[in-house]
Amino acid sequence: MLAREGFPTIIVVFTFSIGVGIGVSFLPSWVGFIIYPLLVALCALVLYFFRDPDRIIPEGENLIISPADGKVVLIQEVDEPEYMNRKATQVSIFLSPLNVHVNRNPISGELEYLKYYPGKYLMAWEDHASELNERAHFGVKHPSGMKMMFKQITGFLARRIVYNLEEGDKIKAGERFGIMKFGSRMDLLLPDNVEIKVKKGDITVAGESIIGEIKGS
């Protein structure tokens, strides 16, 4: 299964490859022996990048589910004045170009806040990437009343983030909501009534790995 957000890129790459392949056919045959394998590899890599496997969503209304495949690179306490207006625990997940880049909702609830920021393209694992890079911020209110935020953040290679959410949407944990192209980062900002279930260095799977659990709701 392929991510629908990747179809425009796939079409461009395949069209380019076909055009180059036709042009190479008029050149000496030894050129084709070099170029054709490269074109096939390029098309295969693009298809691999935009893969979109099904996931088994864990049951539990109080679970915070990973919104991205990747590696936990940062867990720290931060101030969150934009939507939550309180201190929060930031969990940052770095996505390499080899990870699945389809993003999934980390929790069910109402999307009360959404804001897109243009910005720079620092390496996604840098601390200031969450403040300076191109990004989209999503604030969700869980049925228990708990508020949390998650962020799509571009990296050095990622030049576009895509999401299909709007303020006021009712979202469901584990459902697909967008994609980040070619290496990026996802941040979750969680209040103190969430018990963090991951540690730095852990590998996460979008829609399956449990990042945290809401306590006392």
Judgement on whether residues 156 and 207 belong to the same structural domain of the protein: yes
Judgement on whether residues 28 and 73 belong to the same structural domain of the protein: no
Examine residue 58 and state whether it is found in any structural domain, yes or no: no
Judgement on whether residues 95 and 172 belong to the same structural domain of the protein: yes
- CATH number at 130 reads 2.70.70
Per-residue model confidence (pLDDT) at position 184: 81
Global pTM value? 0.84
Examine residue 119 and state whether it is found in any structural domain, yes or no: yes
Examine residue 56 and state whether it is found in any structural domain, yes or no: no
Per-residue model confidence (pLDDT) at position 127: 54
Per-residue model confidence (pLDDT) at position 217: 57
pLDDT < 70 regions, the chain: 119-132, 155-159, 182-183, 217
Examine residue 55 and state whether it is found in any structural domain, yes or no: no
Judgement on whether residues 44 and 131 belong to the same structural domain of the protein: no
Per-residue model confidence (pLDDT) at position 200: 96
Examine residue 57 and state whether it is found in any structural domain, yes or no: no
Judgement on whether residues 113 and 27 belong to the same structural domain of the protein: no
Tell me the catalytic residues: 184
Judgement on whether residues 9 and 98 belong to the same structural domain of the protein: no
Domain count for the chain, please give it: 2
Judgement on whether residues 44 and 67 belong to the same structural domain of the protein: no
Examine residue 203 and state whether it is found in any structural domain, yes or no: yes
Judgement on whether residues 18 and 118 belong to the same structural domain of the protein: no
Judgement on whether residues 88 and 20 belong to the same structural domain of the protein: no
What contacts 104, CB < 8 A, 6 or more positions away? Answer: 55, 65, 66, 67, 68, 173, 174, 175, 176, 177, 206, 207
Per-residue model confidence (pLDDT) at position 124: 45
* Domain that includes residue 20, residue range: 4-49
Per-residue model confidence (pLDDT) at position 157: 52
Q: How does DSSP assign 97-146, residue by residue?
A: TTS--EEE-SS-EEEEEEEEE--B---TTSTTHHHHBSEEEEEEE-TTS-
Judgement on whether residues 177 and 108 belong to the same structural domain of the protein: yes
Judgement on whether residues 190 and 110 belong to the same structural domain of the protein: yes
